[in-house]
Amino acid sequence: MDRPKICVIGACNLDLISYVPRLPRMGETLHGDRFHMGFGGKGANQAVMAAKLGGEVAMVSKLGRDIFGENTAENFKAMGVDITHVHFTEQAFSGVAPIAVDREGKNSIIIVTGANDLLTTEEIEDARPVIAGSSVLVFQLEIPLEITLAALRIARQEGVSTIFNPAPARNKLPDEFYQLSDIFCPNESETEILTGMPAGTIKEAEAAARVILERGARTVILTLGERGSLLVLDNETSLVPVKQVRAVDTTGAGDAFVGSLAYFMAEGKPLAESMKRANQIAALSVQASGTQTSFPLREDLPPELFV
């Protein structure tokens, strides 16, 4: 049986994770409990999550010619991700993301994008065959806007379904981002930044999601953390709940959801069912430390998830 084909275009970073009693205040220095380095970047995380579930995943990105970049490429290979279109540059260091995680699992993150900013439209065009051969194409906002937009245009031209995760969110996005997104998938805070509207309650989240629909997105899936995810269409709204768990580290939970959603969509599952399964996998990820290291492997998941 053919494996679901997914292409991810986005950033690769090395996560530098400090575990602290609480998140520091402005100007404050704290002693941490422990330190961990891990592979990250929203694009890389989503690609690895889909690959861990058994997807045939291709990554399009750019790394620095340094130890972080070399190790990232080796990690992709180990996870079974196709790196044909992972490029290297000597003009910048690989991206990094210093992260602080408190004892309740809450986090703060700084992203230094580095080589990710140097991916070119020519390199995106070179990836057209792998994009066209995919069932789902996944994007974020950690690489330059014009590069992401070029890839979205190719996906629409080639008839490939898109999941756009607008993170980190910006106050304004060109209308074309909405118009070319089949699935527009922000979290609550990203939704508030994009729309200028509150998204704290389900009613507020739905109202904000409908503004995104009005801007041209075909479907909005709003992730709500421990409450699950909200599906908003022109004539339908559905809350897809998730089983409550004790969070150890929420870093990467949104990426676990998006990567899983892409996998199940590419497998042909209905959207609400894909969301339900992605919720379950994201909930498992927050019960372990780290980012990609917290993502479960297919063999560690209940078999009914893949029926």
Q: Express each pLDDT in 262-279 by its tens digit.
A: 999 999 999 999 999 999
Using alpha carbons, select from 181, 130, 141 the residue that is nearest to residue 41. Answer: 141
- Compute the chain's Rg from CA coordinates: 18
Which domain does 127 fall in, by range?
5-11+43-87+116-292
Q: Which of 2, 117, 255, 300 is catalytic?
A: 255
Residue-level pLDDT at 1? 63
User: Residue 156: which H helix or E strand, with range?
Assistant: helix 145-158
Contact 63, 69 (CB under 8 A): yes
pLDDT above 80 (res 169): yes
Is 55 within 8 Å of 4 (Cβ atoms)? yes
Q: In whole angstroms, how far apart are CA 297 and each of 17, 52, 92, 260, 303?
A: 22, 5, 33, 11, 12
Whether 267 is in a domain gets the answer yes
Q: Is residue 129 one of the residues assigned to a domain?
A: yes
Q: Classify residue 261: in a domain, yes or no.
A: yes
On whether residue 93 sits in a domain, the answer given is no
In a domain, 272, yes or no: yes
Terminal C-alpha separation, the chain = 13
Q: What is the CATH number of the domain that holds 168?
A: 3.40.1190.20
Report the number of distinct structural domains present in the chain. 1
Reply yes or no on whether 255 is catalytic: yes
Let me know the angle formed at the C-alpha of 251 by 272 and 86, rounded to the nearest 5 degrees: 85
Task: Report the 10 Å Cβ neighbour count for 34.
Answer: 10
In a domain, 20, yes or no: no
Residue 107 backbone phi and psi in degrees, to 5: -140, 160
Judge whether 235 lies within some domain: yes
pLDDT > 70? residue 257: yes
Peptide bond into 296 cis (omega under 30): no
**What is the tens place of the pLDDT at every residue in 22-73?**
999 999 999 999 998 889 999 999 999 999 999 999 999 999 999 999 999 9
The span from the CA of 125 to the CA of 117, in Å, is 16
Q: Note the pLDDT of residue 248.
A: 85
Does 58 map to a domain?
yes
Q: State phi, psi for 127 to the nearest 5 degrees.
A: -85, 5
User: Between 162 and 104, whose confidence is greater?
Assistant: 162
Give residue 104's identity as a one-letter amino acid code: E
pLDDT digits (tens, 9 = 90+) for 92-124: 999 998 889 899 888 888 889 999 999 999 999
More confident residue, 17 or 159: 159
